[in-house]
Amino acid sequence: MGKSSFDIQLKVLLVDDNPEFISAAQRLLSLDPEIRIVGKASSGEQALKMLNEQRPDLVLLDIAMPGLNGLETAKKIKEGTTVPKIIILTLYENAEYRDVAKTLSLDGFISKTDFGTKLYPLIQEFKLEKQAYGRNKEKSMKTILLVDDSSTMRRMVKASLQSIPHTDFREAANGLEAIEKVAIEPVSLMVLDLNMPDMHGLEVLKFLRSHEKYKSLPVIVLTTRGDETSRDAALAAGATLYWTKPFNPGDFNTRVRQLLGGLK
């Protein structure tokens, strides 16, 4: 049986300023054909840059590094829109460090002296989890495109919808980027702001509804504009729903579930 379109390999990013440890970790992990090392970083800053490029499933982080230490780096990763598994690997068996890792809800805290025995069982769990996720994704995954020039608002909307099962998220910071993304990859539902640079939300709606391919795409306008004129204009342009900010996450989640549930 050949590979499906879902990548079954667990993609790992190694982050440590000690090249000898990086080499040792690489040798160990490369023994497993279902593990692929997608990057090696010697600092937290470098790791954050590589994160968006490589989109790893797992980040192995040292604590003691120049600049951002491992825990600071983990915190910044957790603030992102796509959060991989994170395991701290350190020589410093420190209760305070463990407490911080626990507070950040990291996925592991392992002493480097136990690297060979304790890391691999965790990785096996992650592999099985990813493969199960992949099977579900291929069967029934829905994709939601969040379109807003505010990264904070995109994070808030994503957080309110993350409990919906078999759902993947894409993001766009403006209308032009949104149109590019729907052209490249199928989207199940769009959450669209109105006031954005480059292309207004109403223009995006009119573009979508002018093409047969996107006429039935559910589009929820989520905006600060609560006036009737804006509401009527958005609905006339083809908005499926009109929702105002600030919004109730529970109510919004329920309505999105209903829309996704009605899709074939």
Per-residue pLDDT tens digits for 164-184: 988 899 999 999 999 999 998
CA distance 146 to 170: 6
The pLDDT value given to residue 141? 78
Chain center to CA of 46: 19
- Tokens 């490249």 map to which residue? 184
The pLDDT value given to residue 132? 72
Q: In what order do the strands lie in the sheet with 108-111?
A: 35-41, 10-15, 58-61, 85-90, 108-111
pLDDT tens digits in sequence order for the chain, 264 residues long: 334 444 678 899 999 999 999 999 999 888 888 899 999 999 999 999 999 888 899 999 999 998 999 999 999 999 887 789 999 999 887 889 899 989 999 999 999 888 878 888 888 888 888 777 666 555 567 899 999 999 999 999 999 999 998 889 999 999 999 999 999 888 999 999 999 988 999 999 999 999 999 999 999 999 999 999 999 999 999 999 999 999 999 999 999 999 998 765
The pLDDT value given to residue 23? 94
The pLDDT value given to residue 149? 95
pLDDT digits (tens, 9 = 90+) for 52-81: 888 899 999 999 998 999 999 999 999 887
CA dihedral for 237, 241, 247, 249, sign (positive or negative): negative
The pLDDT value given to residue 136? 56
CA distance 108 to 125: 12
The pLDDT value given to residue 60? 95
CA dihedral for 225, 231, 236, 241, sign (positive or negative): positive
Share of the chain above pLDDT 70, in %: 93
3-state secondary structure of 63: coil
The pLDDT value given to residue 137? 56
Output b/e per residue, 100-125; b: 16+ Cβ within 10 A: bbeeeebbbbbebeebeeebeeebee
C-beta of residue 219 within 8 angstroms of C-beta of residue 193: no
Structure tokens at 65: 């590094």
What DSSP character marks residue 33?
T
CA distance 183 to 223: 24
Nearest to 36 by CA among 57, 15, 52, 22: 57
Nearest to 88 by CA among 68, 74, 103: 74
